[in-house]
Amino acid sequence: ALTKIRAIEQSSIIRERFPVLAQAASVLGPIEIRNLATVGGNLCNASPAADLPLALMVLDSTVKIVGLSRSRILPVGDFFKDVNQTALDEDELLVEVHIPLSSESSSAAFMKLRHHQTSVDLAIVNVAARLTCPDSICEDARIAAGAVAKTPLHARKAEEMLIGKKIDKELIRNAAGAASEESKPIDDVRASAGYRKRMVAVLVKRALEAALGGLEHGKSKR
């Protein structure tokens, strides 16, 4: 939990085995913040626009929580309860993040849209997606979006549209539209709710296309 964001961004192991996490870390604020901020801090802040939770969610990561009388493990997506609110009790600490190894048939991508696209801007919308497709058929899919609900959004209906099917452009477009429908953004100083909904569809589409491209590149290498 005390691992610095910059260490995640620069780790050769992370870049090789969990590139989507390195992608998310690389756009988390300016380098001064990444040198100081930790993965545990980013999670415990529980911002709806945070970057790392989305990458960790699509990687099926869990967090270990330790208190005075018990320890427990939660999926990262269940750690968030409301805006800036987590599942931690008053006597508990988040001490560990566990990321299971992905299969060679998996590929994931992270996308982030900011108002001026500068490092200090919070996300208007951010998205992570992962596809697991052995033998050209989607066996599993994960889609997570930020800044579009009170907590990071797990787009389950969009995922269900992909599983068991061969991924093509039309299916990706339909799944992206479903993710947009699942989102519940608000108007704020950075963007309107309507704009955010439209951008969910755009970013999910791009993330799924990038993940599919990663699968195809991996097959060509093998």
The per-residue pLDDT for range 40-93, each reduced to its tens digit, is 999 999 999 999 999 999 999 999 999 999 999 999 999 999 999 999 999 999
Percent residues over pLDDT 90 in the chain: 87
220 has a pLDDT exceeding 50 = no
- Kindly state the tokens that stand for 31: 């380098």
114 has a pLDDT exceeding 50 = yes
116 has a pLDDT exceeding 70 = no
Give the DSSP letter of residue 68.
Answer: S
What integer pLDDT is reported at residue 118 of this predicted model?
61
Write down the pTM of the prediction. 0.93
Distance in angstroms (rounded) separating the CA atoms of residues 66 and 173: 42
Distance in angstroms (rounded) separating the CA atoms of residues 89 and 214: 40
Q: Span 19-46, mean pLDDT?
A: 95
What integer pLDDT is reported at residue 106 of this predicted model?
95
Q: Name the nearest CA neighbour of 148 among 130, 124, 172.
A: 124
Q: Span 160-173, mean pLDDT?
A: 96
Distance in angstroms (rounded) separating the CA atoms of residues 139 and 61: 18
Q: Provide the 3-class DSSP secondary structure of residue 72.
A: strand
From the centroid of its chain, how far is CA 45? 16
* 49: β partners: none
The mean pLDDT of the chain is 93
